[in-house]
Amino acid sequence: MEPSVCNSITYKETGYFSQLVIDFLSEHPHIRSFYNYPPLQTNVDELIKAKKAQPLQRDLLVKALQQQYAGMELHTAVQEHIRLLELPNTFSICTAHQPNIFTGYLYFAYKILQTIKMAAELHQQHPGYNFVPVYYMGSEDNDLDELGSIYLNGKTLTWPTTQAGAVGRMRPEGMDALISQVETALGYGKYAEELIQLLRKAYLEHDNIQQATLYLTNELFGRYGLIVLIPDTPLFKQQIIPVMKEELLQQTSYPIVTKTIEKISQHYKVQANPREINLFYLTDNARERIVKEGELWKVLHSDISFTAETLEQELHAHPERFSPNVILRGILQETILPNIAFIGGGGEIAYWLELRDLFNHHRVPYPMLVLRNSFLLVDPVSKKWLNKLGLCIKDLFGNVEELINNFVMQRTNAALVLKKEYDVLDQLFDELEEKARSIDVTLVASIAAERHKAVKSIGKLEHKFLKAEKKKFAWQTDEIRQLRTKLFPAGSLQERKENFMPWYIHEGPALFDRILADMKPLTDELVIIYE
């Protein structure tokens, strides 16, 4: 008998999402005061009203995007969306992510497809406004350990480079050999050769990682009208010079965000802690913190230092050399974009919840926060085995050994749970305890100790019975473990480990169409997609 096909599971039921995320979605009183808008319903009029009150330099935004895309072949949809950004009735739906090599994790695609779906749905519901999807590239991130590896078919492939600084500015040297490793790991697929050629063109024909990521993302998602935005440019950074100046000279972010964190930490783990100065100094080969020592501002691990006067001169002459950390990054994003909603993962939502008072301080509208969609892709072979075993996909989200134990006990003819024996044992020791009291009350403790030993012995026998019975279900238990490993690699959600390529080589662009069809921009459920 086949189990019913399960198409979704609540985030809470999965066991993979933090309490903060669960409470955020349910608008729990512990967390509700830290964000403005309900996460599962969109009040477009209110969002647009708040954004319209903000002075936006749309002309600079379009100019910067045109410069960024210069020389690239663009889909008509992208060109049209860039044009629409100049109009006062156009707003963006934005997600952000670092330029992980080869896009990194599956959820990179999910975040982008969700911005595309949400923008399209909002335009359909509110035809008087235009909504464009934007991928804001966190190319100034310097965490190469995180960005420089990819997981394929059970193995981690790492880009061997000794470069330092912002990953987006790194040269793609050594990528040729890594792409060959990817090709070997992926094996045959209808679209495999096409994909490998796309990777070679992206990483071997562009000067740096951010340009390579721009090209690759545009090729994969440009047909949907996705705009890729690289903030690492003077045209964008100059728009938050007043914010950066205040940060450098007055260090106002630290006390504001710390005050919020003190409240959040009463119930949840803090995601990001502010520094006294939340800016890095950015060069081609380094991204180092700026610290104030006495009357000087110094760049760590360098001989660069500034007085208040020379610091302000540098800020105005070269705003691109100042790089916001996680505390100020959102301020830049929401200053340069006509953005009304930000789509982020659980960790991103957690640190954005720390920032609303900082946004208010700088008079930047705080967007609607939307948790990114989560999916589990189930291949036909896995679905076949689930049916053969009589399992629902939901069963695999729990502890695999508990699942196996329950599986065996539900299907065995043997009495593996020794409830009757426990009852007999309890009755025996109750009688012994009564006799002990009548003889010498001090004997009661001895009876209790013997009861404990006996119960423990029965428990050991029960465990041995179950272990012996499992041998009769060897192939089923092995298959359950294999299914769990396949669908939850390294004990994690598939999307947090796997890359899109093993699916793409067989389906090509249709993979994204398939996911997009099942996309629910506002939901509290992980969606299961069967091929």
Rounded mean pLDDT, 428-435: 77
3-state DSSP assignment of residue 274: coil
Any domain includes 262:
no
**Residue bearing the bigger pLDDT, 467 or 399:** 399
Model confidence at 453, pLDDT cuts 50, 70, 90, reads: confident
* Same-domain check for residues 112 and 88: yes
3-state DSSP assignment of residue 28: coil
* Same-domain check for residues 115 and 37: yes
129 pLDDT exceeds 50?
Answer: yes
Tens-place pLDDT, residues 68-90: 999 999 999 999 999 999 999 99
H-only helix segments in 238-321: 241-250, 253-264, 308-317
Any domain includes 263:
no
> Residue 71 corresponds to which tokens in the numbers above?
């020389």
The dihedrals phi and psi of 36, each to the nearest 5 degrees, come to -90, -35
Question: Please, are residues 421 and 34 in contact by the beta-carbon 8 Å criterion?
Answer: no
Output the DSSP codes for 415-466: --S-HHHHHHHHHHHHHHHHHHHHH-TTHHHHHHHHHHHHHHHHHHHHHHHH
* Same-domain check for residues 215 and 179: yes
3-state DSSP assignment of residue 403: helix
Any domain includes 309:
no
* Same-domain check for residues 430 and 337: no
* Same-domain check for residues 487 and 525: no
Structurally, how many domains does the chain consist of? 3
Any domain includes 322:
no
Any domain includes 456:
yes
* Same-domain check for residues 99 and 172: yes
CA 163/CA 51 separation, integer angstroms: 40
Model confidence at 446, pLDDT cuts 50, 70, 90, reads: confident
Mean pLDDT, all residues of the chain? 91
The conformational region for residue 493 under phi > 0 = left, psi -120 to 50 = alpha, else beta, is: beta
CA 506/CA 514 separation, integer angstroms: 13
Any domain includes 82:
yes
CA 421/CA 423 separation, integer angstroms: 5
* Same-domain check for residues 346 and 457: no
Rounded mean pLDDT, 92-107: 97
309 pLDDT exceeds 50?
Answer: yes
CA 518/CA 506 separation, integer angstroms: 19
Pairing of strands 90-97, 339-344: parallel
Question: Please, are residues 25 and 371 in contact by the beta-carbon 8 Å criterion?
Answer: yes
| Residue whose pair of structure tokens reads 């790194």 in the numeric block | 170
Report the candidate in 152, 213, 140, 210 with the shortest Cα–Cα distance to residue 178.
152
* Same-domain check for residues 89 and 222: yes
| Residue whose pair of structure tokens reads 């209808």 in the numeric block | 190
Report the 10 Å Cβ neighbour count for 148: 20
Rounded mean pLDDT, 172-178: 94
Amino acid identity at 332: L
Cα of 9 vs its chain's centroid, Å? 18
Output the DSSP codes for 308-361: HHHHHHHHHH-GGGEEE-HHHHHHHHHHHS-EEEEEE-HHHHHHHTT-HHHHHH
* Same-domain check for residues 349 and 485: no
Cβ density class 392-421: b for 16+ within 10 Å, e for less: bbebbbeebeebbbebbeeeeeeebeeeee
- Give the H/E segment covering residue 235: helix 234-237
| Residue whose pair of structure tokens reads 């909504």 in the numeric block | 131
Pairing of strands 8-10, 525-530: antiparallel
Report the 10 Å Cβ neighbour count for 130: 20
What pLDDT is attached to residue 403?
Answer: 85
Rounded mean pLDDT, 354-377: 97
Angle in degrees, CA 69, 352, 209, rounded to 5: 30
* Same-domain check for residues 67 and 178: yes
Amino acid identity at 31: I
Domain extent, residue 456, equals: 417-461
Tens-place pLDDT, residues 460-518: 766 666 565 656 667 678 888 899 999 999 999 999 999 999 999 999 999 999 999 99
Question: Please, are residues 367 and 50 in contact by the beta-carbon 8 Å criterion?
Answer: no
Report the candidate in 100, 142, 135, 97 with the shortest Cα–Cα distance to residue 281.
142
* Same-domain check for residues 369 and 387: no
Question: Please, are residues 239 and 60 in contact by the beta-carbon 8 Å criterion?
Answer: yes
pTM of this structure: 0.88
Any domain includes 306:
no
Angle in degrees, CA 186, 191, 197, rounded to 5: 80
Helices and strands counted in the chain (H then E) = 25, 15
* Same-domain check for residues 402 and 449: no
Any domain includes 253:
no
